[in-house]
Structure 1
Amino acid sequence: MMTRLGFGLILLLAVLATEVWTQNPPPGFVTTECLGNLMMIMLDKSFLVGKHFRIDIIDVKGTPVSISPRLATQCGYSLTIDFLGNVRFLASVLSCFIQNTNDETYRLAVLIRVSPNDDMSLASSYTQTMTCVYSQWAAREILCERNYMEVSVRRGIPLIDSKVSRDEPDWANIYPEATAADNAIWQVVFHLAQNKKKEMTVAQAMLSGYGINTTPTRIMLRAAYNATETRPQLIQTVPMAVLRSTTFYKQRWMVLMVDTAIACPTDGTSFTDEMIVWRVPRVIPPLVPTTPLTSLNVQMGIDGRKLDPTTVNNRRYVLDVGPELITIKIPVGADGGYYKSNVLNNTYAISYSIAPMLEHTWQDVDEKTKHTILHPITTPLMPRPPFVINNTVPKDRVFNVTLGIFLPDVDLVDVTFGLETLTVPEANLKGYNIQEHVFPNGSKTYTLQVPFEDPDVKKEVTPPDTRTYILPLTYLLNIVPENKPFTHHAEVQASVQDIILPTVTGYCDVAGFYVLVQYGNMGRNWIPYVGSRELGGSLLALYKYNVNSTNFWITMPYNAIDATYEVIKSSEIRSRLDLTLKDIETMLVLTSFSLSCSFPTKMIDCFSNGTMAALAVKVESVPGLLPNQLTLRDPSCRPLQSDAVRAVFYFNVNSCGTTRRFDNNLLTYENEVLSTTFGPSYRLSIVCHYVVNDTKVVQFSYQNNPALVIQPGLGDLVVVMRLALDSTYKDFYGTQDYPVVKYLRTPLYFEVELLYSRDPQAELFLENCWATYSADRDSLPKWDVVVDSCENSADTYKTVFHPVSSNARVVFPSHLKRFEVKMFSFTRDRTALKGQIYFHCGVVICDANRQSDSLCRRQCIPGKQRLGRSVEGKAEVAVKALVSSGPIRLEQYGFYPSEVKTTQAVLWSPLVATLVCAVVLFISGIVAFIHIQKHI
């Protein structure tokens, strides 16, 4: 009897291999146990996993005998392997090769081979013997094993009574055959249906698969459940396999006849979700006479071991002996049994198995019968589809998925992520982190972690700012040792509001709109619309448009066709620019921006020659207005010029329905621009005032054109300080990235820029730059990184200045300065301070054509000399400003004294800096206002 334990269970029936040597089994491998009329040998799974094994019987001559399934049934052997891989070999004490001493002591010897190969080569061989004592035989004992039925009857020479033939029909029927048989020959007569009989010698019966033997005190017959002479019979609703036979032996002067009938249940079980019910007839007619039966003992057990009432009660078993049926109830999942995995239509399912035993001893007439039934029970498959728990914390940006629950006999083989299939080791090497988790009861789950950024993760955008990450999974699992694979599909999702939408900012001047669009973190995944038209193609050529990898600028005049007029006054127009960004796929609006400004515009002209001119425009409150349909009070006076948004009227004060009135010395002319179409009303009043009785003296003479006078105006200069990702100065940290984390000696790339100015003559210079421990520019401690436009001579790592050249983003290189410093930490009392560092710069904006100040001449001159020269020149042309960066946090992975800035060298800085700044600001304040007007 040979089999293999591993990922699959294979029962191999092979011929006896040549044995080389044998030895005693290693400790813990083999255990034995006597179970009444059964002998049990158990092999531990830990010695058999992944190997082949074989069990042979050693006969009385010491020769190993290979056991086939037919021989196992005929001789009284059975072999089972539980789901963990433990082997249980059972032998009847009346089996073929047992050494029987007086039906009291029994010795069994087996040969166990274990090999890594299926041909049993290189096998290790072990001999195991065991001895059991069993002498308390009942007159008749019936054993119902898994694969055979066995009956043994005490044999003696009873007195022959004529009443026996009359009382026992089978004996009466067999008597003619018995008296006619040859002397000294054992024979068996099988009683078939409809009073038919079949006579066999012992040799013939054994050729037919029956096991027949005599021992010192007993006669034994063994048969398979499906033997030809066995017939099914329903007894008290329980299906039974019944073999009715009489075995006899004839001598010249006597005939010994033994009733060797057998009856064993083939079923009788029923199931609910919580309970197993097994019923066995209490009275089995083929085995008992017509006289009443007296039950002497009814006891249940598990795996051939009888249980005491306390154990039965503790395990919540029920043993109920009724007048017709003996009922055993076992809760599903109770101790003594085990669960086993299986597959049902590619769905995970489980069953519960237990091997109850029933021993019923009864008395009929004056003899006892012991009926022992070993009846393994397995429940129908119970579907247990695995559950998938999504334990993902979206902010961690890693999928955390749990799959379970499985029994210990389930292994995870591989996982398919989208179109990629990986075994568990391959997935862990890729960083997916698949782990098995085993619970105290042996059940287990599997967890899986996959980053959101993995290529196998699908992404879907849910406007306006949410991304949904989708992970499709297909798990391949396998049930061992049967090697039954099955799959389970799942899809987990996580939504994160991690989309940074594009932002729009803008401002106006006297002529138009200026709008800046920052892309956000999704790139250019949207389409810009100005008003109702897509900003592209010919529309881009119409307006000034600059673009780079992170943003674009658009400049549009206030009277562009895509602008909207909100309010009209005699000297100004309030115009609005609407900019919309729509998703490139869904066309949903991501961002809307409106910029509304008032622009000085002359709407009415009153000429001294008696004519009037008026400009009428389409306003937002009258969306359906057609400017070419506008008229004056006289409907025949139509626009001199018109387009989609405006109309120009030119007419004489004495025409087109113009009215006049006198008010003291003023003559007032009035008319209106009206809409003649249906819809919302449109009315624009036109008024001109002339002074009556006023004399003007006009003198004509030749003179040179007067010099141009620049009228003063007010505006703001905007200076920003940015931190670049690297020395290319292409990408910069955004507001959301602060505080930026850096390590000691890591380069910091700063850029200071003058924004919004279109003056090519303006030039920005760095005066002083320093770092502080707080956002307050004047706080201590501080460390100078740029002093008087030059690097700090006291610094171990000097500040590096980088040149600026023009490109798609940089239109005026003179508006920018770039420098590089190494990341450092402050120290106080020789202890490095932990926290954030802020960088600040004082900048000077100069006229590149008038470099009276030393800074504007790009020289490194001490502050006092520079101040003196400015006073001497009497013309301060520089405008000063202060700018700061966001916080930068230091991560210390070591202590480097050269990068730790002390505060002693700068303790005098606040006082001196305050005095210098006060003097400079006093002098520069005299001319600052004029200078701003010239260079804004």
Structure 2
Amino acid sequence: MARCLRFGITLLLALATTVWAQVPPKGFVTTECQGSVMMILLDRSFLVGKYFRIDPINKQGQSVSLSPKLAAQCGYSLSVDFWGNAKFLASVLSCFAQNTNDETYKLAVRIGVSPNSDMSSSSSYMQTMTCPYFPWATREILCERNYMEVSVRRGVPPIGSSFVQDQPEDWSNIKIEAAAADSAVWQVVFHGSEKKSMTVAQAISNGYGISTTPTRIMLRAAYNATEVQLQEIQTVPVAVIRSTTFYKKRWMLMMVDTAVACPIYDTSFTEDMITWKVPRVLTPLVSATPIKDLNVQMGIDGQKLNPETVEEREYKLDVGPNLITVQIPVGADGGYYKSHVLNKTYGTTFFIEAMLEHTWQDEVYDETKYTVLHPITTPFLPRPPHVTNDTVTEDQLFNVTLGTFLPDVELVEIKVGQETLTVPEANLKGYNAQEHSFPNGSKAYTLQVPFEDPNVQSEPTSPVTRTFTLTITYVLNIVPEDIHFTHPAEVIATVKTIIPPTVTGYCDIAQFYIQVTYGNLGRNWIPFVGSTELAGGLLAQYNYSDNATNFWIAVPYNSLDVTYEVIHSSDIRSRLDLTLKDIETMVVVTTFSLSCSFPTKMIECFSNGTMAALAVKVESVPSLLPNLLTLRDPRCRPVYFDAFNAVFYFSVNSCGTTRRFDNNFMIYENEVLFSIPGNSYQFAIACHFQINDTKVVQFMYQDNIQHVIQPGFGDLEVVMRLSLDSSYSIFYESQDYPLVKYLRTPLYFEVELMYSQDPQVDLVLENCWATYSADRNSLPQWDVIVESCEYTADTYKTLFHPVSSNGRVKFPSHFKRFEVKMFSFAEDQDALKGEIYFHCGVVMCDANQISDSLCNKQCVSAKRRIGRSAEWRDAEKAKTFVSSGPVDLVRSVNARRVRHRNSYWSLVAVGGVCSVVLFVSGIVAFKKMQKDLCSK
């Protein structure tokens, strides 16, 4: 019996060949005894894309090829599930099974596997199995998927007082045939619309299987046999063969009722439930009712289930007076789902192999065991996949989910716009296509595409919005059938093109430092510090400075516009609130609050026996009036006060001050008080004086020495950092490298001269470039700064950012900032994978030499600079370098072309942020000292 996992069947005539076979490989064949059925299971991993056949082996050791007709006649069935696993079932009474006393049964088969449909070049394997089956019921009926089988005990029972005469209908009908029959011959009489008598040889030639065993007689027929009649029993269609098999000798006549009936279908479906009905009393098999039920049990895959398992899996088995009803939830344990495509629509079916075993007793047979094997496949249920748009417009990235699918569906291609890509190609291009599996076995696919991708359509839809449209066609495949289907989707994202202003800040020990970045609508708002507009004299008071894109202020922690949150004896926690309001409507555009603790002396103890205390107005007591604060003695008021502060100065022997001793200390204590209904303020102050203390003072003198000015040598260091954004307030740490960036994502670099306090020194970036490896002399290379200016051949030019003074930047001339769009190297139009390193050549000059174009930030050639002075030539020789990286590009094929350069520079820094020795040109010169700062 041959079958191919390409879902083609080869039908072969019955023939016998000598068996030459080997032992099957491990994991290929599994055998199992399932009552009166023997099962051989072939694993799909050995069969996919190949043809195979399973042939039983007869007593002579020859394999017999099975056609579908011969398989039904002999008691065999072969099925291949949706996943490609092959199941071969054989009745223990099958044609070529070896029977030992109706108790033990042995079957040998030959398994052939070939890449060709004619089974040439096949591999042959021998598989044997032995199954016990005993005891037998008086009558046993098996309803398989392609045949019906009945076997009856043929022994003569003893005559007893309980013997009941059967109804004479069928027996009397065969008296004529029995009388006319030859002696010593088996015959079968079929009782249909027309009675038909056949010898065993004639019945076998007509496709029936008839045989006897040591204790039984067996009849087997296909469902499409000529003598099969269709009847409806309790609304269930049943295939029925009514037959009597008899054996005649001169001195005896033995007749056996070999009627058989099997339900051919009565299965109904809902989306959630399978209902299968079988008549409880099959009248062609029972001469009289009622019958006595001995056992009713359901099973799955040929294995009977106990009541506990039935309940656990939420199956239902109901035995009624007329029908036995089996209910199985769709998706229950024991079955599996399968994907299909019907009329270009994706959907699923659910498959489960159910079994019912009903054993009863009637007036004729002591025991009848009735077994039905019923493979069930639910109707096709459309389950069109859904597209979920999880896009967050702030990320500038489409995020699309397609699902859900069964595990037998795989994504093979994605068409984005007019470009069709495999999944690996899509990921290489910079899209992020991923498969996600869920605990219930289903799966979904996510796809991420940047808004700026060329396959994304973009158009303005209003003065302040832009709409991005992503058109996708998913190409999916169902395995193992290799059935392709598509699913189109269109995802739209509308983005506001208004970028609001942003505020950042930090503190040092005395001030708040605030930076405001304007956004893309410019300065259409008014800033307020606290409740006061930032204008007029407040600008100079707070060291206000600005440029076209930002402004900065520095606010002292004790400013009138600052709020005190908490006070301690050694510090004050203050909060600065900054609000931006629309210039026309005064609607709040954004708010920002920064809270810091500042070291502050709140209490001062003087050796002359006086104390000083500073009391401040805190946020938690809004009604506090500093001029009304007092010490314990209400007559002691502040010597100075304003709207937020009050200063007390008093003697330790006045204003209600108390004294106590603690070990070697004398402690004076008082309190600053304020109390009105609903609010109170209390600030405890204390001074500790050591009672016994000895101090030793030593002094020496020496003559003044003559001051001589001599030239000296020292080290300066340069550091190259990569900022998180254009505010240059937060920088990546060494553990953050390598960074991962999308194509054309801005990289914000800062180069700083460290430790120098000379405002006359100016740091200059002569050349900056990128390499594909950590070696700055390696090729390929790409320029980003050439001779202190942006590289004009680049489509995305380098942007220089101005540097202004703030709490971190004391000398702006010691800093250089620039912005580069992230790119990838390419070779022969193919993007190179890997990390990118950035390097800069750094020189110093005298800022007072206005004629020097480097110092006045003009773009000039290196030759002109070198030729100006001996000092400048020395600086060229002492030039040093800084590097940063690596930066890893999220996969993209949009890359810049490679440019080769001839360079004499050597590697100084590899990865992270690294400091190197710097040499200054011009008036000031420093000795070159190599430091191993970048070797780690």
Tell me the TM-score normalised to structure 2 length.
0.56
User: Distance in 2 between the 1:738 and 1:491 partners?
Assistant: 29
- Pick the aligned partner of 1:801 from 824, 844, 860: 860
Q: Does 1:897 align with 2:916?
A: yes
Q: Could you say which residue in structure 1 is the equivalent of 2:231?
A: 233
* Counterparts in 2 of 1:200 and 1:400: CA distance versus 1, 3 Å: same
The amino acid across from 1:214 in the alignment is T
User: Distance in 2 between the 1:216 and 1:19 partners?
Assistant: 29
Which residues in structure 2 correspond to 1:165-314 (within 5 Å)? Answer: 167-193=167-193, 196-314=194-312
Q: Could you say which residue in structure 2 is the equivalent of 1:415?
A: 414
Deviation at residue 792 of structure 1 after TM alignment: 8.3
Deviation at residue 131 of structure 1 after TM alignment: 0.5
Instruction: Work out whether residues 467 and 499 of structure 1, in 8 Å CA contact, stay in contact via their aligned partners in 2.
Output: no
User: Distance in 1 between the 2:746 and 2:808 partners?
Assistant: 13
**Local SS of the residue matching 1:494:** strand
* Counterparts in 2 of 1:773 and 1:244: CA distance versus 1, 3 Å: same
Deviations 1:58-103 (A, max 9, x none): 1111111112211111111112223333222111000010001111
Q: Does 1:343 align with 2:404?
A: no
User: Distance in 2 between the 1:831 and 1:359 partners?
Assistant: 80
Which residues in structure 2 correspond to 1:377-396 (within 5 Å)? Answer: 377-396=376-395
Q: Could you say which residue in structure 1 is the equivalent of 2:403?
A: 404
Deviation at residue 290 of structure 1 after TM alignment: 1.5
The amino acid across from 2:475 in the alignment is L
* Counterparts in 2 of 1:241 and 1:422: CA distance versus 1, 3 Å: same
Instruction: Work out whether residues 741 and 891 of structure 1, in 8 Å CA contact, stay in contact via their aligned partners in 2.
Output: no
Q: Does 1:436 align with 2:435?
A: yes
**Local SS of the residue matching 1:400:** strand
Instruction: Work out whether residues 787 and 860 of structure 2, in 8 Å CA contact, stay in contact via their aligned partners in 1.
Output: no
- Pick the aligned partner of 1:789 from 833, 839, 850: 850
The amino acid across from 2:361 in the alignment is Q
User: Distance in 2 between the 1:19 and 1:180 partners?
Assistant: 43
Deviations 1:489-536 (A, max 9, x none): 2111222335899xxxxxxxxxxxxxxxxxx99xxxxxxxxxxxxxxx
Percent identity of the aligned residues? 59
Instruction: Work out whether residues 179 and 255 of structure 1, in 8 Å CA contact, stay in contact via their aligned partners in 2.
Output: no
Deviations 1:701-749 (A, max 9, x none): xxxxxxxxxxxxxxxxxxxxxx9xxxxxxxxxxxx99995478842277
**Local SS of the residue matching 1:357:** strand
Deviation at residue 904 of structure 1 after TM alignment: 13
User: Distance in 2 between the 1:126 and 1:259 partners?
Assistant: 41
Q: Could you say which residue in structure 2 is the equivalent of 1:596?
A: none
User: Distance in 2 between the 1:739 and 1:38 partners?
Assistant: 72
User: Distance in 1 between the 2:171 and 2:397 partners?
Assistant: 82
What is the RMSD computed on CA atoms of the aligned residues? 4.1
User: Distance in 2 between the 1:895 and 1:344 partners?
Assistant: 63
Deviation at residue 200 of structure 1 after TM alignment: 1.9
User: Distance in 1 between the 2:745 and 2:284 partners?
Assistant: 91
**Local SS of the residue matching 2:284:** helix
* Counterparts in 2 of 1:279 and 1:905: CA distance versus 1, 3 Å: farther
User: Distance in 1 between the 2:58 and 2:10 partners?
Assistant: 21
User: Distance in 1 between the 2:384 and 2:846 partners?
Assistant: 67
**Local SS of the residue matching 1:355:** strand
Instruction: Work out whether residues 210 and 220 of structure 2, in 8 Å CA contact, stay in contact via their aligned partners in 1.
Output: yes
The amino acid across from 2:53 in the alignment is R
User: Distance in 2 between the 1:379 and 1:785 partners?
Assistant: 87
Instruction: Work out whether residues 475 and 488 of structure 1, in 8 Å CA contact, stay in contact via their aligned partners in 2.
Output: yes
User: Distance in 1 between the 2:60 and 2:424 partners?
Assistant: 53
**Local SS of the residue matching 2:860:** strand
Deviation at residue 409 of structure 1 after TM alignment: 1.6
Q: Does 1:79 align with 2:78?
A: yes
* Counterparts in 2 of 1:467 and 1:780: CA distance versus 1, 3 Å: closer
User: Distance in 1 between the 2:148 and 2:134 partners?
Assistant: 21
* Counterparts in 2 of 1:393 and 1:233: CA distance versus 1, 3 Å: same
The amino acid across from 1:63 in the alignment is Q
Deviation at residue 342 of structure 1 after TM alignment: 1.6
User: Distance in 1 between the 2:23 and 2:418 partners?
Assistant: 53
**Local SS of the residue matching 1:146:** coil
* Counterparts in 2 of 1:122 and 1:798: CA distance versus 1, 3 Å: farther
Deviation at residue 776 of structure 1 after TM alignment: 6.8
Unpaired runs of 5+ residues, structure 2, are: 501-519, 522-725, 727-743, 752-764, 769-784, 791-801, 816-843, 863-874, 885-908, 927-936
Instruction: Work out whether residues 23 and 127 of structure 2, in 8 Å CA contact, stay in contact via their aligned partners in 1.
Output: yes
Q: Could you say which residue in structure 1 is the equivalent of 2:39?
A: 40
* Counterparts in 2 of 1:440 and 1:9: CA distance versus 1, 3 Å: farther
User: Distance in 2 between the 1:143 and 1:296 partners?
Assistant: 17
Q: Does 1:324 align with 2:322?
A: yes
Q: Could you say which residue in structure 1 is the equivalent of 2:456?
A: 457
* Counterparts in 2 of 1:49 and 1:787: CA distance versus 1, 3 Å: farther
Q: Does 1:2 align with 2:11?
A: no
Q: Could you say which residue in structure 2 is the equivalent of 1:688?
A: none
Deviations 1:784-822 (A, max 9, x none): 5654323389x9x9975279xxxxxxxxxxxxxxxxx99
User: Distance in 2 between the 1:477 and 1:157 partners?
Assistant: 65
The amino acid across from 1:172 in the alignment is S
Indicate the larger mover: 128-137 or 246-255.
246-255
Structure with greater Cα Rg: 1
User: Distance in 1 between the 2:368 and 2:420 partners?
Assistant: 63
Q: Could you say which residue in structure 1 is the equivalent of 2:476?
A: 477
Unpaired runs of 5+ residues, structure 1, are: 502-519, 522-722, 724-735, 753-768, 804-820, 833-889, 908-936
Deviation at residue 283 of structure 1 after TM alignment: 0.8
User: Distance in 2 between the 1:397 and 1:256 partners?
Assistant: 89
User: Distance in 2 between the 1:433 and 1:893 partners?
Assistant: 27
Instruction: Work out whether residues 303 and 357 of structure 1, in 8 Å CA contact, stay in contact via their aligned partners in 2.
Output: yes
* Counterparts in 2 of 1:781 and 1:264: CA distance versus 1, 3 Å: same
Deviations 1:132-183 (A, max 9, x none): 111211111000011111101111245899x998723111111211111122
Instruction: Work out whether residues 773 and 779 of structure 1, in 8 Å CA contact, stay in contact via their aligned partners in 2.
Output: no
User: Distance in 2 between the 1:906 and 1:898 partners?
Assistant: 13
Instruction: Work out whether residues 266 and 276 of structure 2, in 8 Å CA contact, stay in contact via their aligned partners in 1.
Output: yes
Q: Could you say which residue in structure 1 is the equivalent of 2:94?
A: 95
* Counterparts in 2 of 1:261 and 1:895: CA distance versus 1, 3 Å: same
Deviations 1:22-59 (A, max 9, x none): 22122222121111111111122233233332211111
Q: Could you say which residue in structure 2 is the equivalent of 1:130?
A: 129
User: Distance in 2 between the 1:751 and 1:126 partners?
Assistant: 77
User: Distance in 1 between the 2:66 and 2:53 partners?
Assistant: 9
User: Distance in 2 between the 1:217 and 1:35 partners?
Assistant: 21
Instruction: Work out whether residues 781 and 906 of structure 1, in 8 Å CA contact, stay in contact via their aligned partners in 2.
Output: no
Instruction: Work out whether residues 278 and 324 of structure 2, in 8 Å CA contact, stay in contact via their aligned partners in 1.
Output: yes
User: Distance in 2 between the 1:39 and 1:255 partners?
Assistant: 34
Q: Could you say which residue in structure 2 is the equivalent of 1:667?
A: none
* Counterparts in 2 of 1:395 and 1:52: CA distance versus 1, 3 Å: farther
**Local SS of the residue matching 1:150:** strand
Instruction: Work out whether residues 151 and 222 of structure 1, in 8 Å CA contact, stay in contact via their aligned partners in 2.
Output: yes
User: Distance in 1 between the 2:407 and 2:746 partners?
Assistant: 50
Deviations 1:649-672 (A, max 9, x none): xxxxxxxxxxxxxxxxxxxxxxxx
Instruction: Work out whether residues 77 and 91 of structure 1, in 8 Å CA contact, stay in contact via their aligned partners in 2.
Output: yes
Q: Could you say which residue in structure 2 is the equivalent of 1:142?
A: 141
User: Distance in 1 between the 2:274 and 2:102 partners?
Assistant: 37
**Local SS of the residue matching 2:176:** helix
